[in-house]
Amino acid sequence: MKRISTFIMVLVCAFASAQTIDDVLRFSSEDLQGTPRFQAMGGAFGALGGDLSAINVNPAGSAVFNYNEITFTGTNYHRNNDAFYGGGMTNTTMNDLNFNQAGGVFVFQASDKNPWRKIALAVNYDMVQNFENEFLARGSSSVGIDNYFLNFAQGEPLGPLRTQDGEYIEDAYLDIGSSLGYGPQQAFLGFQAGIIEPVADDDSNTSYYSNANYNSVNQRYVNNTSGYNSKFTFNFSGQYKENLYVGAALNFHSVFYDQVTYFDEDGYNANSLIQSSSFDNLLHTDGSGFSFSLGAIAKLNESVRIGGSYQSPTWYRLRDDTSQRINSNLAVSDISYINFGIVNLYPDYRIQTPAKITGSAALVFGKSGLISFDYSYQDMSQAKLKPSSDPSFADENNYISNTLGVVNTYRIGGEYRIDQVSLRAGYRFEDSPYEDGSTVGELNAYSGGIGYNFGASRIDLSYTRMEQDVNTYFFDGGLDLASLVNRVNTNISLGYSMKF
């Protein structure tokens, strides 16, 4: 009986779908999350402070607190994805309930003779990205999955694509990936699945043709992601005299990301040798990151405040592993032994996201309310995959610098107080990270909320709606099949704050 095991090999070649511009974008952006008050006002807190999630924008904000305070927040995430592909549209929705924020600030008052009126220490956890999402795309196409394998196979000798006498197919799959790289490994899958055939039955053959015959094929693609990017912030700030607040923060990220894609194809011509095929891929990424931030807030008078902050690059160290499985009506009998239990491990790599600069202004109308505005600048062309000595990273970094551009982000928020009740609203706009505005569109977000102050404690509720178009490719290389996905994410958050 054939053995079933998990084989793990370290690939010395860069994996095409694991370290690309997509990874840079995935970990360079942060969702508008945090406390309900922060979310309801569109995250426009750079000149305000006084909220635990505000220290993500400006670390001087913790010195605005007058009392010790703790806050906890839970959020329901609703995803609505309309995928346009092959002349049709498919809608997918999902919900995820998560605990996304917790933190506390400790305020130490000084004597009136001390120019440093108070010092604040804060510790906060924010889930800055929630990767729970899924979309389904289906339709017809004149380009089939056979082209994916042909693109990798042409020019590759047939010999390594065969299994040797007594060699298990899963051993051969891992060995070719380890010794020859990702491209020959994909050619091996296509050949063993019977999707492609050599022109000549000779080990030195380097030309291949497809066993699939079609004018158009029916395709179904499912993309399921899960995981998070969380940030622990350790913050120190102080108030100098009456009108100046300064602060700094150290940020520690923890990353966990899974992406599973399922691709099925049928609808071939009646005389086609291939009548059905499927190709599934699993990517797992985990790692950590570090960044720091500096900021200041100045009160120009009783009504006007301005703020400025610098967010350093985030330096991530990440690890990838991948698994694949494939099948067709012509596949070899033991093709099922190449499955998600057969794991390709890759060397650690690093991502350096660009720095961000934020300028802020706010008008405070006594105890009646306020209006706040933030502007952030981030040059995505400065993002980098490392080590830069890796030739594939050098090529990808060159592509990043020529493809991505400046992301301008605008946030505006307001709050109106009626006795113990606070009514809030906000708006956020973010440019496409792509220079030409393609692939990823502009982001628009609207938010609102309400809070009730009990005196020593407060309860807050917020609603946020974010919309963005994303052109999602089914595979990172070999074939340019893509679906335009209209993403509408709505978050409902409930938080509780207590002074002590």
**307 three-state secondary structure:** strand
Kindly state the helix (H) or strand (E) to which residue 153 belongs, with its residue range.
Answer: helix 146-153
Q: For residue 49, which amino acid is it?
A: G
Cα-based angle 293, 396, 157 (whole degrees, multiple of 5)? 150
Angle subtended at Cα 156 by Cα 202 and Cα 10, rounded to the nearest 5 degrees: 120
The CA-based angle 453-458-464, given to 5 degrees, is 105
Asked if omega into 387 is within 30° of 0 (cis), the reply is yes
Half-sphere exposure for 121 (CA within 13 Å, toward CB): 2
Q: How far is CA 286 from the centre of its chain?
A: 12
Query: Residue 191 corresponds to which tokens in the numbers above?
Result: 């050949």
Residue with tokens 């599973």, as numbered in its chain: 260
How many C-alpha atoms does 373 have within 13 Å on its Cβ side?
Answer: 5
| Distance in angstroms (rounded) separating the CA atoms of residues 453 and 465 | 25
DSSP for residue 440: B
Q: Determine the Cα–Cα distance for residues 247 and 46; give it in Å rounded to an integer.
A: 12
What pLDDT, on a 0 to 100 scale, did the predictor assign at position 113? 84
Report the pLDDT value the prediction gives residue 111, as an integer from 0 to 100.
Answer: 82
Q: Give me the pLDDT at residue 14, please.
A: 38
How many other C-beta atoms are found inside a 10 Å radius of the C-beta of residue 165? 5
Here the tokens at position 301 are 């008078």
Residues of the chain falling short of pLDDT 70: 1-18
Residues in the chain: 500
Helices and strands of the chain, counted as H and E runs: 6, 22
Q: How many CA atoms lie within 13 A of 125 on its CB side?
A: 11
